[in-house]
Amino acid sequence: MNSRNIPYRITYILALFLMFLAAVFYRQSLLTVLLLLLLILPVLSLAATRFASRRLRISVENPHDELTLPATLRVRVILHNPTPFPLLNCCLRFTARNLYFPPLPTQELLIPAEAGRRMEYLLPFRLDAAGMFSFSLDEICVSDYLHLYSFRLKRDFRFELPILPAPVTLPPLNLTKAMIESEESVPSPDGELTSDIRQLRDYRPGDRIRDIHWKMTARVGDVMVKEYERAKDLYYLLLPETDKRSLQDCIAYFYSLGQWLLKQKENYRVALYHIEDRSFEFLPVSSEDELLICLYRLYLEPVEERSAAYESLLNQKPDIGGVIRIHGAHILS
């Protein structure tokens, strides 16, 4: 029973009592007929509502695969009542939230389902933050015509929709490349990287200290670096450092940087930090679809008050070097 039905029940019982007193006091046949009608109406109301509600067809449609901020999401709710009895009081109970934020209270929408008709309703949601939008329609309560009883129809319509951040203007970039494993164990399209030295060349920003040829550097007076066979397979490594204070900026700059690298024909990897076990997953990115997959995976990760991703990465791989950190609106390399 819905608590909202209680006032209607009390009112109806009072009406019956007063009608009963009037019928007894005045002894009029019309009042007696009205009293009988008041006794029969609840039975008819409940029976018709029960019959129609059991045959009510409900569906929820999400017309989008993804949205980019700023945006308005319109969720389509479809009610089809094939019976001759209209359902005037259908209360939809649903939740809608961005998974980055705490759950919101259950929302309610009161709509009718007319007899023999298929009706559509649009639920608009103004989206102002990137993340994974979650919608869930859990229950529909259908009250009878007298509001004496509510029939609960359990439903489980759910979907999640990624909300992409708006593009941002990147600052001037001076990025360096990184390698996680040793040269002997890093796979590349041309085979395994080897320790074969192809040439010596002048030092460039981003080169690793361990690749410096110290003897040649001492001999010529300039810093010389060993360039290995297939050294071009070094890659950019992006590390999004999400925390609650700068979450939206971090997402926006990470996504814009990823798009910029793809436009430069650069393949790269994303270090996805798993907070639960302090582990990392290194996801290769060579297309827009793979970048979106990384972004969606990032959306599903919990967010700390202060990100410990970079410290954890250094603890696990102290020789990594060249990590491109995205911390809020700052790109650190």
Q: Which of 119, 137, 164 is the last residue of a domain?
A: 164
Q: Which of 164, 188, 213 is the last residue of a domain?
A: 164
**What is the reported pLDDT for 180?**
52
130 in a domain, yes or no? yes
Spatial distance between the Cα atoms of 272 and 282, rounded to a whole number of angstroms? 6
299 in a domain, yes or no? yes
**Regarding beta strands 323-327 and 236-240, do their DSSP bridges make them parallel or antiparallel, or are they unpaired?**
parallel
**What is the reported pLDDT for 219?**
83
- Kindly state whether residues 158 and 269 are assigned to the same domain: no
How many independent structural domains does the chain possess? 2
The residue whose two tokens read 């593009």 is: 167
- Kindly state whether residues 92 and 131 are assigned to the same domain: yes
CATH of the domain at 142: 2.60.40.2550
- Kindly state whether residues 172 and 292 are assigned to the same domain: yes
- Kindly state whether residues 132 and 5 are assigned to the same domain: yes
228 in a domain, yes or no? no
- Kindly state whether residues 30 and 100 are assigned to the same domain: yes
Spatial distance between the Cα atoms of 131 and 162, rounded to a whole number of angstroms? 6
CB atoms within 10 A of CB 153: 15
What average pLDDT values come out for the chain (333 residues) when binned by 10 residues? 85 93 89 93 96 94 89 94 95 94 92 94 94 94 94 90 95 79 41 59 79 84 76 76 94 97 92 93 93 96 93 87 91 89
- Kindly state whether residues 5 and 119 are assigned to the same domain: yes
**Regarding beta strands 150-164 and 67-68, do their DSSP bridges make them parallel or antiparallel, or are they unpaired?**
parallel
**What is the reported pLDDT for 179?**
58
**What is the reported pLDDT for 222?**
87
- Kindly state whether residues 36 and 80 are assigned to the same domain: yes
Q: CA quadruple 199, 203, 204, 206: dihedral positive or negative?
A: positive
- Kindly state whether residues 41 and 145 are assigned to the same domain: yes
193 in a domain, yes or no? no
2 in a domain, yes or no? yes
- Kindly state whether residues 174 and 136 are assigned to the same domain: no
Helices (H), ranges, the chain: 5-26, 29-54, 214-220, 247-263, 288-299, 309-316
Select from 234, 246, 237 the least CA-distant residue to 208.
234
DSSP-assigned letters across all residues of 134-169: EEEEEEEEEE-TTSS-EEEEEEEEEEEEEEEPPP-P
**Regarding beta strands 131-143 and 87-98, do their DSSP bridges make them parallel or antiparallel, or are they unpaired?**
antiparallel
| Interhelix angle 5-26/29-54, nearest 10 degrees | 160
**What is the reported pLDDT for 196?**
59
Spatial distance between the Cα atoms of 153 and 142, rounded to a whole number of angstroms? 8
184 in a domain, yes or no? no
- Kindly state whether residues 17 and 42 are assigned to the same domain: yes
198 in a domain, yes or no? no
- Kindly state whether residues 16 and 75 are assigned to the same domain: yes
* HSE (side-chain half, CA atoms, 13 Å) at 15: 15
217 in a domain, yes or no? no
Fill in the amino acid letter for 177: K
Range of the domain at 124: 1-164
Spatial distance between the Cα atoms of 51 and 85, rounded to a whole number of angstroms? 8
Residues 6+ apart with CB under 8 A from 129: 69, 98, 100, 101, 163, 248
- Kindly state whether residues 147 and 173 are assigned to the same domain: no
Q: Which of 116, 135, 164 is the last residue of a domain?
A: 164
Written as six digits, the tokens of 79 are 């009610």
